[in-house]
Structure 1
Amino acid sequence: MTDTTERNAERARVRVSGLEKSFGDNKVLRGIDFEAREGTSTVLLGPSGSGKTTVLRSLNVLETPDRGVIGIDDVEVDFAALPPGKAGRRASGLLRAQSGMVFQAHNLFPHRTVLENVIEGPVVAQKRPREEAVADARTLLDQVRLGDRGDAYPFQLSGGQQQRVGIARALALKPRVVLFDEPTSALDPELVGEVLAVIKDLAADGWTTVIVTHEIRFAEQVADQVLFLDGGVIVEKGPSARVIGDPREERTRRFLKRVLDPG
């Protein structure tokens, strides 16, 4: 392997530095720093209100940080120096375009078929040819194990199937990073496994993912690195085997014990 190839393999696809965010007097993020290399899976764990979802939404600029730097590939925004008006919106939009978000709720268009839901973004937002978008969508539906449901409507699908359509819809935009915001929290327990299996497949296929989840055992299996957040800061980060299997911080140990052994 050449030196250049080695450097590219180690290049951080996601870079976050000094991220801060307040809602009124509530300071939700207090200086978040982390990197995620290309083709890796980063999982954010923590109690409710710890700031993990705000970190995820900041990566997609669904929340605008007060300050801090976010970089995805070659696109980087310093939010403390974000220009006002159209220039700032353009910079934020360019960063947003680097990632695809999968939400807790499915948010599918109920009056459109599965296939139409998946091609909406590529055709309308990205102005790609419909034929190309349809071909890509059929490949993605196969990937999320719904290749035979392209003509179905959302009401004809289970919650787990709808969430898998949501994953295909995010992938159809060809993002550099896929963001998952507690993708199984709205599902009945028996449907959780089918969605987690698809996310594991994406990680195994080399997609760069950042995932907020309460599914500790899933995080242990899929994550290359785990960030444990509490009170708007990263309390502990490292490989999943260490952070989950042998945490160094007492706060991390207490959280995992409460979640894994609630009795």
Structure 2
Amino acid sequence: MTDTTEHNTAPAWIRVRGLEKSFGERHVLRGIDFESRRGTSTVLLGPSGSGKTTVLRSLNALDIPERGVVGIADVEVDFARLPRGRAGRREATGLRAQSGMVFQSHNLFPHRTVLENIIEGPVVAQQRPRDEAVAAARTLLEQVGLGDRADAYPFQLSGGQQQRVGIARALALKPQVVLFDEPTSALDPELVGEVLAVIKDLATQDWTMVIVTHEIRFAQQVADQVLFLDDGAIVERGPADQVIGDPREDRTRRFLKRILDTG
């Protein structure tokens, strides 16, 4: 968790106002509003179907809300005014370029080595020199504890190692924000800790992160801000010690009790 004192007066790095999103007749997001400061970690908690992943995908413009504004750093998109066609796709792509996404499943290219997976985005999408991308990728692999696996293929790695490569791949894009969508949900329990340790380390390095997770103890350790969602709305928000340690809302208390009792 970052010491946020120096961020209190800084302008918000992530700005979300009035997000509304439906899938058919199902209203998934109902006026989501929040801000995050640069170098802080925001954790989204809530039951399945509460809208957490849709919020995350909206930040990355993988899902396009009907209404609302998302701003990251100096890029901002008003989805209600998003043009149709090429101009709208260009705006969405500009927003997407601000973040790196770590999915529930690592989604690595199976026919490419670890190193090739990591440099794909920087070289192909960002047109960075290959030598520069390779050097940065090797540094990132050391950071996630896989410095000796650059030439391995995904099938030669454990699930936890593959997810750590996924984290390195997201960081290789040099994003303004890193988005984690339940990064340990697909892992065997004994592999969860190695992935969470990497994310905790990132939280000490001034990365700005938004994390969807059911790992409550981890959230308590890493979050500067916790948002508890239910039925597409933010029910409770605040510091981790308050929302997790002493929640004000009955819905939050019931959710945490169920998760912690199950754990």
TM-score, normalising length: structure 1: 0.96
Partners of 2:8 and 2:204 lie apart in 1 by 19
- Give deviations 1:205-247, integer Å, cap 9, x for gaps: 1100000000000000000000000000000000000000000
Which amino acid counterpart does residue 208 of structure 1 have in structure 2? T
Partner AA of 1:112 in structure 2: R
* 1:14/1:71 contact within 8 Å kept: yes
Mapped to 1, the partners of 2:231 and 2:108 lie a distance apart of 33
C-alpha contact 1:9 1:38 (8 A) present in aligned 2: no
* 1:86-139 deviations in Å (ceiling 9; x for gaps): 111111100000000000001101111100000000001111100000000001
Residue identity over aligned pairs, in percent, reads 81
Name the residue aligned to 2:236. Answer: 236
Distance 2:194 2:11 in 1: 32
**What does the per-residue CA deviation read over 1:57-110, in whole Å, with 9 as the maximum and x for residues that have no partner?**
000011001100000001000000111111111111000000000000011011
What's the counterpart of residue 93 of structure 1? Answer: 93
| Count of residue correspondences | 258
- Hey, what does 1:76 align to over in structure 2? 76
Q: Does 1:207 align with 2:207?
A: yes
2:81 and 2:154 map into 1 onto residues whose CA distance is 42
Give, in whole Å, the separation in 2 of the partners of 1:84 and 1:156.
44
Cα separation, partners in 2 of 1:145 and 1:68, compared to 1, 3 Å: same
**Distance in 2 (alpha carbons) for counterparts of 1:111 and 1:215:** 32
1:180 matched residue in structure 2: 180
For structure 2, the 5+ residue unaligned runs are 1-5
The aligned amino acid for 1:209 is: M
Q: Does structure 2 conserve the Cα–Cα contact (< 8 Å) formed by 1:16 and 1:70? A: yes
- The CA distance in 2 between the partners of 1:9 and 1:28, in whole Å, is 32
Query: What is the aligned partner in structure 2 of residue 129 from structure 1?
Result: 129
Change (3 A) 1:210 1:7: closer
SS at match of 2:246: coil
Aligned-partner Cα distance in 2 for 1:13–1:200: 20
Partner of 1:42: 42
Q: Distance in 1 between the 2:141 and 2:7 partners?
A: 34
Following TM superposition, by how much is the alpha carbon of 1:262 offset from its aligned partner in structure 2, in angstroms? Answer: 3.5
CA positional deviation for 1:9: 5.9
Task: Find runs of 4+ consecutive structure 1 residues off by over 2 angstroms.
Answer: 6-9
Alignment check: 8 A CA contact 1:20 1:29 kept: yes
State how 1:183-262 maps to structure 2 within 5 Å: 183-262=183-262
- Give, in angstroms, the shift of residue 261 of structure 1: 1.5
Could you tell me whether the CA contact under 8 Å between 2:7 and 2:38 is conserved in 1?
Answer: no
Q: TM-score, normalised by structure 2?
A: 0.96
Q: Name the CA shift for 1:39/1:194 in 2 (closer, same or farther; >3 Å).
A: same
Letter in 2 for 1:99: S
Does the CA contact (< 8 Å) of 1:118 and 1:169 recur in 2? yes
1:129 and 1:27 map into 2 onto residues whose CA distance is 44
Unmatched runs of 5 consecutive residues or more in structure 1: 1-5
